[in-house]
Every structure is written in C-alpha cells, then in structure tokens.
Amino acid sequence: MNIISIRDIRKVYHIGTEKVVALGRISLSVAQGEICCILGTSGSGKSTLLNIMAGLERPSRGNVVIGGTDVTRYNEKQWALFRQKNIGFIFQSYDLLPTMTALENVAMPLAFRGMDKEIRTRKAVKMLRAVRLGNRMLHRPTQMSGGQQQRVGIARAFVARPRLIFADEPTGNLDSKTGREVMELMVSMARKYRETLIIVTHDPEIAKYAGRVIKIHDGSKISDERNTEAMGTKEES
Amino acid sequence: MKFRDMISMSFANLFHRRVRTVLTVMGVVIGTCAIIVMLSLGFGMRQSMEDLMKSMGDLTVITVYGSGSDSSEGLDDSALKDLRKLPEAAAITPVYFLDSSCVAVNCRKYQFQGMIYGVAMDTLEKFGYEAETGSLPESDFKNTDILFGSQSAYSFCDTSRKSNNYVEPIPNKNGELPKPFVDLTKNRFTLSVNLPEDSTARNKEEKLRVLGTLKEDFSRNPSPSSCIFMDYAYAKELREKYNKLNKVKGSSDFYDQIILKMNSIDVVPEAVQKITDLGYQSYSMESQRNEVEKQLRTVQLILGGLGAISLLVAALGITNTMVMSIYERTREIGIIKVLGCVVWNIRAMFLMEAGAIGFLGGAAGIGISYGISAFLNSLAAQMSASGGGGIFAMGGKISIIPIWLIFGSIAFSTLIGIISGILPANRAMKISALTAIKQE
Ligand SMILES: Nc1ncnc2c1ncn2[C@@H]1O[C@H](COP(=O)(O)OP(=O)(O)O)[C@@H](O)[C@H]1O
Ligand SMILES: [Mg+2]
C-alpha cells in the first residue's frame, strides 16, 4: 500500500518576469516501509520536491496524497497538526534547539502534541538509547560532535513514530566516515521501526543504502530503480 | 502543547540569552521604580495634606455666613429654622458675637477682655468640645451659665492699673506658667451691660455661674481659647439691652454664623449645595479639601506621567529585544514549525517571554522602590528633625507605597511586557517555515 503518492507535480518560481521551472510533471508513489532515495545534482529540484511532499511548499499544479488523504489544499494550521502526527524530519544541519538538552530535543515533537512530560521523556530515553546516545542525554548540542547531533536529530524524527520520515542531505555536513555511520544507523532504525524513509541526496554513495533510487534531473524523473542489494540489509537478516 | 511546556521553553530562551534578558529587565526595573516612587511621593503628599487639613478643622462641619455685603445680614431666626430642616445635620448652632465693649465680665477689679460667643450650649458636646474642668451643659441650664475657654484666665485686665495690667501666659525658665489674676473655677464672676460714658445710672450686675472650662482645640470654630461661651438667646438679649441703653440704631437679630455638624463627610457636599440653594454662603473644610485634592490629583498625574515615560522607554526596549531575538531565532522558529509546533503556540511563547520580562522587572522594581522609599522617608525624618522639610515632612512620611500599588504595578509591568511582545510575536508567527529552513 502506498503511504504517499504525488501526481503530476509541477513547480514554477517567478523571479520578476522570469519563470524558473523547478519541477516539471513528476509523479511517484512510495510504499509503506520503503527506504527511498531521491538522487540528483545540485539544483535538480530534489529539495523542492521534498518540501512539497512535506507540505512546506505548495505545488503549482498536481496533487499530494498521504495515507489516502489528499493534503494538497491543506492550510498552514492543518499541515502543522498533520505533521505533528504523521511526519518526521531530519535536517542537513541537525538543527537541534541550543537551549535544550539532547533528551529535551528528542522529546520536543511529543511536547508539541501535548503529551505528558513523563511519558514523552520515557519515549525519548528509549529513542536516544536506540541511537546509542544513552550516555549523552543531558548534553546540549554545543557539547556534542556533528555525528552525535545528527543521531539526536534521527531520534527526534523517529520518536513520534510518524508514518513518513524525510531527510534532506542528512550527511551533507558530515565527513564521509561519520556520514556512513549515520546512514547505517538511519536505515537500520527505519527497518527496525518499519518506517517509510525518503532521503534526498546528491551523493551516489548514500544512495546505495536505499532500497529504491529515484534519479531526477532538471526537475524531471529520469529513472526509478529498485536496489535489491541495498547496503545494511544484510545486517538485518 | 501544554501550558507548562510553553512556559519552560520561554524561560529556557530567556535564560539562554541571560545578559540581554537582564539588561532588558533592568529597563523595566527603572521604569517601574520611576512610576512607583513618583506615585508614592504623590501619596505621601496627599497624606500630609490630609493630616494638615484634619488638624485645621473638623471635616464634617459647615459654617454658614449671611449673604450680602454685611456678611451677617440674613442669618436670623428664620434662617436658623430653614437650616434646621437639613436632614443630615447632627447638630446646629448659631454663633452670636459679643465683645467687651458691649458687656463687661468682672471679677473684683479684673475685667474680661476676650470674645463672648453666644451658642446653643447643649450642642457643644456634639460639636466635639471637651471640658477641661467642670462639665458641658446638658439640657437644663440657665441664662447666666457660662463656660470659659482654656486661656480665658489670661484675658483678664487689672482695671486699677494703666500699664502692665495683664499676665502673659509665657512660661518661665522652669517651664511653668505664671499665675493669672483670676481662678476660673473658684472665683465669682459678674456681668453687666456697658452704659454710655456720660451716664450716671448704676450698672446692674448679674451673677454668673461658671460650668467649667473647655479644653484647648484649634480645630474648632469658635476655638475655645480666650473666650466665654454662653447661651445665644441671652447674648442676643444683652446686645438688645446695650443698643437700647446706648441708643445704638440697628438690629440685634442677626447671628454672625450658623454652624452645622453633619452626620458624615459624605453628606457635606450635598448639604453645602442645599445651603447655597437656600441663598446662604458657607465654608467647609471638606470643600477646601476637595480643591486641594483636585490640585493634588494633577500633581500626581504629572508625577505618574513622568514615571510612565520611563516605562514606555522600557517597553520599547522589550519590543526591541524580542525583535532581535526573532532575527536570531528565525531558523529555530522555522524548525519547530516543521516539527509540528502550531502557530498560536509560537505566539503564546513569545508573549510569555515578553510578559516574563515585564513581570520580573516589575517585581524587582517593587523591591528597589521600597528601598528608595525608605531612604527618602529617613531623609525627610532627618530634615524635619533639624527643622527643615516644610509641609512634606510634618513628621510624617513623604513617600507612601500602598499595598494595591504593589499588585497594580506588577500587573501593569507584566501587561506592558505582553503588549510590547504582541508585534514581535505576530512577526514570529508569520515566519515561513520554508524560508526559515532555507536560511543559513
Ligand atoms: N524560492 C525560490 N525562488 C526561485 N527559485 C528557486 C527557489 N527555490 C529553488 N529555486 C530554484 O529551483 C531549482 C531547484 O532547487 P532545489 O530544489 O533547491 O535543488 P536541489 O535541492 O536539488 O539542489 C533551482 O534551480 C533553484 O534555483
Ligand atoms: Mg537541496
């Protein structure tokens, strides 16, 4: 069953009188539990596509359906409430709140939902242990390395058990070794919790971790392939 | 999002930027102090004015004068009857002035030189006069019953001497007053109506009975000092007799004043109005006080306004701080929006931050204001002890902070904080999540 499907998405930016077509007609569907990578060079429209799927940006044309609901015409408030329940995010620059500890950062999306502090702390502790940061819970972002911060970011995306997790260049700010570690962690977490993961990257190395790779170029889909030998799969079986 | 979580997030932000928070709070502290201290000076001024007024006269008393150029014209028995109809009056008395040119009160060779007031003797107690010796008359008293003022003994003149014929009530080195010529309670006093100088007729002398002496009290009118109080009807009769014997033309029917004691201060303005409507002129401490109060209110408004200006500056400081904070946190705000924080939560958190700055500033401001107020009061106490200080320091406080001002100023500064936060909060609310996360 498809958790998300987009149809005939088009996005045009107007800069003065000039038109920039960021996305030509793109359609794709992602099934529940799939780990999917959107691969393309810089400026190819990957981020635009991801932002449209996450409701941060409106498409010029086309529809977005998540979990059977057409969310294309949702307003900002509806999207916020929808994201609380259904969508997790991992950012390139981690974006943890500097005023909070790792534990508080992870628990934050649950706080937005109005969950009790006791329950959300328990869930956040569990998530931090899953990303192997059980000994860093009370550290603040400035007291952690980039890799550790991104692991906190992963825990934060998974903690609310959303139906979809988006990651835009999650390893973009990390060295290649740490990047690989983070990718392995992310992929194994997604398998463990049976989450649908959509990763945007320009790096073909990263794409090797995904079970499906969608290549886009100049705003158009140029290929959509299954990768039966995705890295990290062996560890699970 | 839970209220508690919003509060803790707001405070985490304030704490995270503590230097800036402290500086902004300090602005509010100064503003709050300015308002509280200014207002407290106003309250102090009001209090000393009120004390001063009270020492000057009874606020529930109205004194009525006649209308016309001769101020006693019109205050006859029918006026008295009119005024007796005022329902709120607890007591009423006419005052008939009689001086020593008209009648002579004698004790051996000593003659009384003070004023004689004809009053309704049985109302004195209600007007608040107190007896120093003897007692105030109740219902049954005779024409010749009199009361002396506290200083009346020194108002007797030795008629056998041309000079040095008074005993002055000036204390000697030991602080003792000299012995007057007469003893008001033990001696016998007589009264006679004065005759023309060329008259050969003999003065008819009446024996007086002294009921007692009155306690000194300068807040009363007439003040019971160097005088004699007697029944007004008898005083009028004496004047009539004098006029006849001395062939003086003119009526003896008019009272100099009619004095009313009201049930409470509240009914005074209304009664004054009614008296004016009846065509009489009147004077009351209450209406005086109203005048002073009006002026004090203006002064207080100016003082409060000065304080308010500094709080306004502080409010701009809060707005500025919050706007700065939004610029710095644009990306953060975008992130929490992407993570599912709804916009009204974001607005609420910003308002809380601004409100907290106002609240903290107000609370600290009150503490500091108390210090300043205590300092000013001790300064005033020192000044009044050394003789200076004027009306601000009649032994009292020049700065008074009422309890309601404490709660009022905390609530006010918090409100100011929240109001200063509205614009930045709306701005934060409108930040687009997308532009925020695209920003580096
Ligand atoms: N807000 C915008 N206004 C105008 N053009 C934009 C805007 N955002 C993106 N673009 C353009 O859209 C294209 C796709 O951008 P983006 O999705 O960020 O690419 P990628 O993430 O693949 O590097 C680029 O050509 C970019 O210049
Ligand atoms: Mg991009």
Confidence of residue A175 (pLDDT cuts 50, 70, 90): very high
A223 CA to middle of ligand 2, Å?
Answer: 19
> Alpha-carbon distance B181 to A143, whole Å?
99
Q: List, in sequence order, every residue forming a beta bridge with B112; answer none if it has no partner.
A: B156
Tokens standing for residue B304: 């409060």
In this prediction, residues A53-61 reach a mean pLDDT of 94
- The H or E element containing residue B113 is none
Q: Judge whether B9 is closer than 8 Å to chain A, CB to CB.
A: yes
Cβ(B340)–Cβ(A109) under 8 Å? yes
Chain B: give the shortest CA distance to residue A228, in Å.
32
Q: Judge whether B342 is closer than 8 Å to chain A, CB to CB.
A: yes
For residue A68, pLDDT beyond 80: yes
Query: β-pairing, A2-15 with A61-66?
Result: antiparallel
> Alpha-carbon distance B36 to B373, whole Å?
9
Number of Cβ within 10 Å of residue A19's Cβ equals: 9
Tokens standing for residue A208: 């090797």
φ, ψ dihedrals at B399, nearest 5°: -130, 120
Tell me which of A65 and B53 has the higher pLDDT. A65
Q: Judge whether B435 is closer than 8 Å to chain A, CB to CB.
A: no
Query: Would you call the peptide bond into B424 cis, given omega within 30 degrees of 0 as the criterion?
Result: no
Q: Judge whether B331 is closer than 8 Å to chain A, CB to CB.
A: yes
> Alpha-carbon distance A207 to A214, whole Å?
9
Amino acid, res. B361: G
> Alpha-carbon distance B352 to B5, whole Å?
12
Average pLDDT of every residue of chain B = 88
Domains of chain A: 2-226 (3.40.50.300)
Amino acid, res. B429: M
Mutation site, A11, A94, A95, interface B, largest B CB count within 10 A: A95
The partner residue sitting opposite A76, judged by closest CB among B1, B9, B343, is B343
Task: Report helix, strand or coil for B411.
Answer: helix
- Is there a contact between A91 and B437 if contact means CB atoms under 8 Å apart? yes
CB burial of residue B244 (10 Å; 0-12, 13-18, 19+): exposed
Ligand closest to A14 (CA) is 1
Q: List, in sequence order, every residue forming a beta bridge with A198; answer none if it has no partner.
A: A36, A166
| Residue among A9, A13, A23, A46 to mutate when testing ligand 1 (max atoms within 8 A of CB) | A13
Q: Phi-psi category of B135—alpha, beta or left, where left has phi over 0 and alpha has psi -120 to 50?
A: beta
Cβ(B44)–Cβ(B320) under 8 Å? no
> Rounded to 5, what percent of chain A is helix, strand, coil?
35, 30, 35
DSSP labels, B273-288: HHHHHTT-EEEEHHHH
> Alpha-carbon distance B254 to B252, whole Å?
6
CB burial of residue B45 (10 Å; 0-12, 13-18, 19+): buried
Return the axis-axis angle of helices A76-86 and B343-385, rounded to nearest 10°.
100
Q: Which whole-number Å values give the CA distances from B324 to B327, B392, B427, in the listed order?
A: 5, 45, 11
How many Cα atoms are found within 13 Å in the side-chain-facing hemisphere of B331?
13
CB burial of residue A17 (10 Å; 0-12, 13-18, 19+): exposed
The partner residue sitting opposite B343, judged by closest CB among A77, A87, A114, is A77
Residue of chain A nearest B346, judged by CA positions: A112
Determine the Cα angle at B187 with ends B181 and B193, to 5°.
90
Cβ(B70)–Cβ(B213) under 8 Å? no
Give pLDDT, residue A108.
Answer: 95
Cβ(A22)–Cβ(A48) under 8 Å? yes
φ, ψ dihedrals at B432, nearest 5°: -80, 130
Task: Report helix, strand or coil for A171.
Answer: coil
Q: Which whole-number Å values give the CA distances from B123 to B63, B108, B118, B195, B229, in the listed order?
A: 15, 31, 12, 32, 12
pTM of the model: 0.75
DSSP labels, A51-98: HHHTTSS--SEEEEEETTEE-TT--HHHHHHHHHHHEEEE-TT----T
Task: Report helix, strand or coil for B404.
Answer: helix
Tokens standing for residue A223: 């290929």
ipTM for the assembly: 0.93
> Alpha-carbon distance B139 to B118, whole Å?
16
φ, ψ dihedrals at B306, nearest 5°: -60, -45
> Alpha-carbon distance A104 to A179, whole Å?
24
B434 CA closest ligand 1 atom index: 1
A13 CA to middle of ligand 1, Å?
Answer: 8
- The tens digit of pLDDT for each residue in B226-244 reads 999 999 999 999 999 898 8
Tokens standing for residue B410: 């905390």
pLDDT above 70 coverage of chain A, percent: 97
Ligand closest to A52 (CA) is 1
Number of residues assigned to chain B: 440
Chain B: give the shortest CA distance to residue A236, in Å.
29
Tokens standing for residue B194: 């004065």
Give pLDDT, residue A159.
Answer: 96
Q: Which residues of A touch B13 (CB under 8 A)?
A: 99
Residue of chain B nearest A87, judged by CA positions: B339
φ, ψ dihedrals at A18, nearest 5°: -85, 145
> Alpha-carbon distance A152 to A170, whole Å?
12
Determine the Cα angle at A16 with ends A10 and A20, to 5°.
30
Of B10, B21, B39, nearest to B412 by C-alpha is B39
> Alpha-carbon distance A226 to B309, whole Å?
70
Q: Which residues of A touch B336 (CB under 8 A)?
A: 97, 108, 112
Residue of chain A nearest B344, judged by CA positions: A77
Residue of chain A nearest B333, judged by CA positions: A97
User: What is the torsional sign of CA B277, B281, B287, B291?
Assistant: positive
| B151 DSSP assignment | T
For ligand 1, atom 4, which residue shows the shortest CA distance? A13
Tokens standing for residue A79: 């999207």
Q: Judge whether A119 is closer than 8 Å to chain B, CB to CB.
A: no
Give pLDDT, residue A126.
Answer: 96
Of B230, B214, B236, B235, nearest to B151 by C-alpha is B214
Q: What pLDDT tens digit does each residue of chain B (440 aa) get?
A: 999 999 999 999 999 999 999 999 999 999 999 999 999 998 888 888 878 877 777 888 999 987 654 545 588 888 888 888 888 888 999 999 988 888 999 998 999 999 999 999 999 988 989 999 988 887 788 888 999 999 999 999 998 888 888 888 888 888 888 889 999 888 999 999 988 887 777 778 889 999 999 998 888 888 888 999 999 999 999 999 898 888 888 778 889 899 999 988 888 888 888 888 888 888 888 778 888 888 888 988 898 888 888 888 888 989 998 999 888 899 999 999 999 999 999 999 999 999 999 999 999 999 999 999 999 998 888 887 776 545 444 557 889 999 999 999 999 999 999 999 999 999 999 999 998 888 87
Tokens standing for residue B166: 């008074």
Mutation site, B339, B345, B440, interface A, largest A CB count within 10 A: B339
Stretch among A2-11, A147-156, A176-185, B201-210 having the lowest mean pLDDT? B201-210
Question: What residues contact residue A148 under an 8 Å CB cut-off, 6+ apart?
Answer: A133, A136, A139
For residue A20, pLDDT beyond 80: yes
- Is there a contact between B437 and A77 if contact means CB atoms under 8 Å apart? no
